[in-house]
Amino acid sequence: MLILYTQPRCHFCEIMKRMLSKMDEAEGFQTIDITKDAEAKNFMRKKGHRTVPMLYWRVPGHDVWVNKDIDTRKLTGENLGKRIKDAISETKKSNCLVFDVDGTITPSRQPIDPEHKEKLMSLAETVDIYILTGSDFPKTQEQLGDLTKVVKGCYQCAGNELWVKDKLVQSAPEFKMPKMMLAWCKQKMEESKFPHRTGSNM
pLDDT mean by block of 10 residues, the chain; 202 residues: 95 94 90 94 95 92 90 85 90 82 94 95 89 95 96 92 92 78 82 72 53
- The rounded distance, in Å, linking the Cα atoms of 81 and 117 is 41
Q: Do domains 2-91 and 96-171 have the same CATH topology?
A: no
Q: What is the pLDDT of residue 83?
A: 93
User: Is domain 2-91 given the CATH code 3.30.70.360 in the classification?
Assistant: no
pLDDT at 70: 87
CATH number of 96-171: 3.40.50.1000
**Lateral strand order in the sheet of 62-65:** 30-33, 2-6, 54-59, 62-65
Give the pLDDT score at 151.
Answer: 95
pLDDT of residue 59: 82
Judge contact between 16 and 2, C-beta under 8 A.
no
What are the residue boundaries of the structural domains of the chain, listed by start?
2-91, 96-171
pLDDT of residue 198: 65
